[in-house]
Amino acid sequence: MSYILEVKDLTKQYPGVLAVDHISFAIPQGICFGLLGPNGAGKTTTIEMIEGITKPTAGNILFAGKQRNNNFKQRIGIQFQATALMDYLTTQEILKLFANFYRHTLPLATVIELCNLSDILNRYATKLSGGQRQRLLLALSILNDPDLIFLDEPTTGLDPKARRQFWQLIEKIKQQGKTVLLTTHYMDEAEALCDELIIIDQGNIIEQGTPATLLQKHFSSVHISIPRDNITTALPLKSFAKAQISNDKIVFTTNEVTKLISQLLAENINLAGLSIRRHNLEDLFLKLTGHHLQDAKS
C-alpha cells in the first residue's frame, strides 16, 4: 500500500509533560483520515509536528516515503481553526494574493468551482457569513494543489446546513485524489467523512481503524426504545436483553433484536413509537476516554 504520510515513534516532551508518547500511524493516499481526542490529549501537538510548526523531541515523519524537505510546505495545505483575512479585500483579491505565495497553483477558476465561491467573489471578507468564510479558507488551503490537506476543526461554529455543505466540498476534494487529515469534535462529521481514524488520549493512540470496524469491535448490542405508556405490566425479560427507564421511554439493550421483538409481540406490547439506535462514534469515544468529544473540545 502507498502511504502519503508515515509517523513513526513520534514524541514530544515538554518540561514535566510528555505531550505525545511514541505514537505511530500511516495514512494511505486519497482518504480522509480523522484525528480525534479530548482536550489536552496531544492531537494538536501531533498535527503541529507533522506540519513542521513544532519540532519533535524524537521520532520520524515520512512524506510520500521520504524525509520531509524544503519542498514539503509547497505540497501541503492547511486550514487552521482561526485565520485572519484582509478586511478590505474581496474574495477574489484574497485568492490572487495567496496564489502569489506558491511556485505552483491550481487555476483560480478550478478552485472557485471546487469551493463554490462564484457568488461571493466580489464580497469583502468582513461581509462573509461563517459558512462562506470557511469555504474561502478551504480554497486557500488547496490553492497550491497540495497532496495532503490539514483541516483543523473546519466546521466549528457553523449551522447544520453549512456544515453539510462543507462536507460535500471535502468529498469533492477527495474525488480529486487528495488526502485529508481532519480534526473535529463533531462525531457525526467524523463518521460521515473519515475513511479511517485514530483516537488519541494522554499522548497515546488508544484505538485506530475504520469507523465501522471500531464500532463492530467494541459494540455488539443495539438500543431499542419504547414509550413507557406502551408497557403497563411488568415484562419478564429474557437473558438476551436488559432494560432501563430513560425519561418517558423504556430502553432495551440487546444483541438479539429479532428475539426481543418477538417477545414484545408475544406479550402483546404496543410497538407504536418503537425506535432502534445503533452505537455510534460518540458512544465509542465516551467508552474509551470517559468524555463526550464535544465536551472535550479545545
- Local confidence pLDDT in tens for the 298 residues of the chain: 789 999 999 999 999 999 999 999 999 999 999 999 888 889 889 999 999 999 999 999 999 999 999 889 899 999 987 788 888 899 999 999 999 999 899 999 999 999 999 999 999 998 999 899 999 999 999 999 999 999 998 998 888 998 999 999 999 999 989 999 999 888 889 999 999 999 999 999 999 999 999 998 998 888 899 998 888 777 777 777 888 888 888 888 888 888 888 988 888 888 999 999 888 888 898 888 876 555 544 4
180 and 162, same domain (yes or no):
yes
267 and 157, same domain (yes or no):
no
Structure-block grid coordinates of residue 195:
475513511
Domain range enclosing 9: 3-211
Q: Report DSSP letters for 81-102, one per residue.
A: S-----TTSBHHHHHHHHHTTS
Residue 293 lies in a domain: no
Sign of the dihedral through C-alpha 288, 164, 84, 73: positive
Residue 272 to residue 253: CA distance in whole angstroms: 18
Residue 226 lies in a domain: yes
164 and 230, same domain (yes or no):
no
CATH of the domain at 241: 3.30.70
Residue 294 lies in a domain: no
Q: Are 110 and 83 in contact (CB under 8 A)?
A: no
Tell me how far apart the terminal alpha carbons of the chain are, to the nearest angstrom: 34
133 and 259, same domain (yes or no):
no
Give the Cα-Cα-Cα angle 161, 164, 165 (nearest 5 degrees): 85
Output DSSP code: residue 73.
G
